[in-house]
């Protein structure tokens, strides 16, 4: 069986699959060439970069399984795969901690203007140190602030757990969940007891109006969930964090809201187009930026790889 891991896969998964007799290739085939080459493979593994379209599925004469090494399935035409009898699997739980930690990396960054000082220090850190210090001294603490989660699935709940650990309040909206219990396990090895906290979800409007920071934890492919109307509902001084999917935030409206001080900050890991085409969103001092790395930690990639290898091995048993 030949596997193409077109967006890469953790080395441990490669070793596990090869030990079971699979051949696994990890050299990326560019999207434009993929349809011409996919017939050589039985399994196609992707992260978010490769789009598994109707054309790719039609060209994959030997394809039996498509694996998405990650949470969402929005880059895979799952309906068409089903019609063609090609199975689709993903690893929905493996990266929750890493994505939630990145949310806090952005939150800490915007609260203390790290994105701004990191850009300024190399050039101005000596000559304009005191001026920079003055500008960056308008920081705020996260403790006591309210984190509003839009989407309260695995990653949203992990973000809630971390927020409670920092002394934040948590409110959440999820169209599918009216109430959820978050198990707060901080550090059992250190004897810190686990406790449970019930979060009753409220309307999206109320989350937007009440939160000091709004963090999105929703799937893509549903159009804009945050555009001018939603940004206008948010508190002045609030921040928006998107480590979910780029297409859910209208970037033009977001830049306008940041420029007009309708909201104060944003943290973005994902973009409407990747690589981003609307570069205004990359140039603001109050926006913390990362290039879609929510799941890109050693730990998450190992868990994703192990889980994916296990699913492939079981599928062909
Ligand atoms: C995910 O959905 O888990 C990530 O977006 C995958 C990725 O990092 O490409």
Same domain, 276 and 305: no
Q: Is the dihedral of CA 305, 90, 240, 123 positive or negative?
A: positive
For residue 186, pLDDT beyond 80: no
Distance 128 CA to ligand 1 centre (A): 39
Query: Higher confidence at residue 58 or residue 183?
Result: 58
Q: Among this protein's residues, is 245 annotated catalytic?
A: yes
Cα(31)–Cα(20) distance, rounded to whole angstroms? Answer: 28
For residue 183, pLDDT beyond 80: no
Same domain, 85 and 229: no
For residue 184, pLDDT beyond 80: no
Cα(308)–Cα(15) distance, rounded to whole angstroms? Answer: 12
Same domain, 218 and 231: yes
Cα(246)–Cα(271) distance, rounded to whole angstroms? Answer: 4
Per the structure, the complete domain to which residue 216 belongs is given by 96-289
For residue 21, pLDDT beyond 80: yes
Q: Whose CA is nearest to atom 3 of ligand 1?
A: 70
Mutate to test the pocket of ligand 1, among 51, 71, 154 (most ligand atoms within 8 A of CB): 71
Give the mean pLDDT of the chain. Answer: 96
Distance 179 CA to ligand 1 centre (A): 27
What's the distance, CA 123 to chain centroid?
Answer: 31
Q: Among this protein's residues, is 158 annotated catalytic?
A: no
User: What DSSP assignment string belongs to 46-112?
Assistant: E-SSS-B-HHHHHH-TT--EEEESSS--TTB-HHHHHHTT-EEEE-TTTTHHHHHHHHHHHHHHHHH
Lowest-confidence segment of 160-169, 183-192, 214-223, 237-246 by average pLDDT:
183-192
Q: How far are the Cα atoms of 93, 113, 123, 124, 131 from residue 127, in angstroms, in the given order?
A: 47, 19, 8, 5, 9
Among the listed residues 68, 75, 77, the one whose alpha carbon sits nearest the alpha carbon of residue 220: 75
Same domain, 253 and 270: yes
Distance 138 CA to ligand 1 centre (A): 34
Predicted pLDDT at 191: 84
For residue 179, pLDDT beyond 90: no
Predicted pLDDT at 246: 94
Query: Which of the following is catalytic: 245, 272, 303, 307?
Result: 245
DSSP run (H or E) holding 240: strand 239-242
Under the banding of pLDDT at 50, 70 and 90, the label for residue 195 is confident
Same domain, 175 and 283: yes
Total-model pTM: 0.94
Same domain, 55 and 154: no
Residues 6+ apart with CB under 8 A from 134: none
Q: Whose CA is nearest to atom 8 of ligand 1?
A: 295
**Tokens 């399984």, located at residue:** 65
What is the arithmetic mean of pLDDT over 118-133?
Answer: 98
Mutate to test the pocket of ligand 1, among 5, 246, 269, 292 (most ligand atoms within 8 A of CB): 292
For residue 181, pLDDT beyond 80: no
Predicted pLDDT at 292: 97
Q: Whose CA is nearest to atom 4 of ligand 1?
A: 70
What is the arithmetic mean of pLDDT over 288-294?
Answer: 98
Predicted pLDDT at 110: 98
Cα(174)–Cα(207) distance, rounded to whole angstroms? Answer: 10
Same domain, 82 and 137: no
Distance 123 CA to ligand 1 centre (A): 34
Q: What is the CATH number of the domain that holds 152?
A: 3.40.50.720
Same domain, 31 and 114: no
Mutate to test the pocket of ligand 1, among 48, 94, 218 (most ligand atoms within 8 A of CB): 48
Query: Which of the following is catalytic: 33, 40, 181, 274?
Result: 274
Same domain, 174 and 49: no
Q: How many domains does one find in the chain?
A: 2
Same domain, 62 and 117: no
pLDDT digits (tens, 9 = 90+) for 26-79: 999 999 999 999 999 999 999 999 999 999 999 999 999 999 999 989 999 999
Same domain, 283 and 241: yes
Same domain, 167 and 231: yes
Is the CB of residue 117 less than 8 Å from the CB of residue 288? no
Predicted pLDDT at 127: 97
């Amino acid at each position: 069986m030949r596997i193409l891991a077109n967006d890469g896969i953790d080395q441990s998964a490669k070793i596990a699959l090869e030990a079971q007799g699979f051949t696994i290739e990890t050299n990326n085939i560019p999207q434009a060439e993929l349809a011409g080459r996919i017939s050589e493979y039985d399994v196609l593994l992707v992260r978010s970069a490769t789009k598994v379209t109707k054309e790719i599925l039609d060209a994959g004469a030997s394809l039996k399984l498509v694996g998405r090494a990650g949470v969402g399935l929005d880059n895979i035409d799952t309906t068409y795969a089903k019609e063609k009898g090609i199975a689709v699997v993903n690893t929905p739980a493996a990266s929750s901690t890493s994505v939630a930690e990145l949310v806090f990396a952005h939150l800490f960054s915007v609260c203390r203007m790290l994105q701004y000082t990191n850009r300024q220090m190399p050039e101005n850190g000596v000559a304009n140190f005191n001026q920079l210090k003055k500008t960056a001294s308008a920081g705020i603490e996260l403790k006591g602030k309210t984190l509003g989660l839009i989407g309260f699935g695995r990653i949203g709940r992990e973000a809630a757990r971390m927020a409670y650990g920092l002394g934040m309040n948590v409110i959440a909206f999820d169209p599918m969940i009216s109430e959820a219990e978050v198990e707060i396990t901080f550090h059992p090895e250190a004897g810190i007891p686990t406790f449970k906290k019930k979060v009753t979800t409220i309307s999206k409007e109320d989350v937007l109006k009440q939160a000091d920071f709004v963090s999105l934890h929703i799937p893509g492919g549903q159009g804009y969930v945050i555009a001018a109307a939603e940004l206008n509902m948010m508190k002045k001084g609030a921040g928006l964090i998107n480590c979910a999917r780029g297409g859910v935030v209208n970037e033009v409206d977001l830049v306008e809201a940041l420029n007009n001080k309708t909201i104060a900050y944003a943290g973005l890991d994902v973009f409407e187009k990747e690589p981003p085409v609307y570069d205004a969103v990359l140039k603001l001092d109050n926006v913390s930026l990362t290039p879609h790395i929510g799941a890109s930690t050693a730990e998450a990639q190992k868990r994703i790889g192990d889980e994916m290898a296990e699913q492939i091995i079981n599928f062909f048993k």
